[in-house]
Amino acid sequence: MKRDTILFDLDGTLINTNELIIASFLYTLDKYFPEQYNREHILPLMGMPLVETMEQFDKEKVQELVQTYREHNISHHDELVTEFKGVFETVEKLYNKGYKLGIVTTKMRNTVEMGLKLVGLDKFFETVVTLDDVEKAKPDPEPILKALTLLQSSPEHAIMVGDSKYDILAGQNAGTLTAGVAWTIRGNDYLQQFNPDYMLNEMTDLLDVLGER
């Protein structure tokens, strides 16, 4: 069956927000827990909803931690965010060929829009499902199923593309095919453990998967 619907995670998949995320975590954690945490503590947590992540550090101060993180993240966004190789040309080609394109992310809508606009991808996505739009985040299938409903599509016609286990598991739970990206900050071997249907070495490989190159 032809796959005509492609859902993408955002951070770490379409745009490189890795250093922004790490810097925002380090700034926040150092403010509240000086010299207790470093980069290695943060990497395993990337991809989770922010509130859930901060609960692991201090359940009593979650809102303070989240607020501090978001203020740092927004103020340094444009200087630290970049696009991954091959992303724009791939998304543009799929858009021009009539594919249904959506974003499924655990970010809040305002920072999603900032990222898409910064790299010029905002014009390609008909549907964007953010943390604001669902009750349960990835790996629950709810965000993916919502995006498919909005795109008037179904799991049998879709591929979920992402850089974390939450993306792969969410796609599997929703019944879509899944594609992991080898540029995940956790490493190719790590993501392979979750058995995505495809691994993309760069985003243009998606065109091969779809028979478009």
Per the annotation, the verdict on 189 as an active-site residue is no
Residue whose pair of structure tokens reads 């909005």 in the numeric block = 150
Residue 178 near residue 198, CB atoms below 8 Å: yes
Residue 92: partners with Cβ closer than 8 Å, 6 or more residues away = 124
CA–CA gap between residue 15 and residue 85 (Å, rounded): 9
Rg (CA), the chain: 17
Q: What would you measure as the largest C-alpha separation in the chain, in angstroms?
A: 54
Strands (DSSP E) along the chain, which ranges?
5-8, 15-16, 82-83, 100-104, 127-129, 158-162, 177-181, 198-200
Q: Which of 4, 9, 132, 133 is catalytic?
A: 9
| DSSP conformation letters of 113-170 | HHHHHHTT-GGG-SEEE-GGG-SS-TTSSHHHHHHHHHTT--GGGEEEEESSHHHHHH
Q: What residues are labeled active site?
A: 9
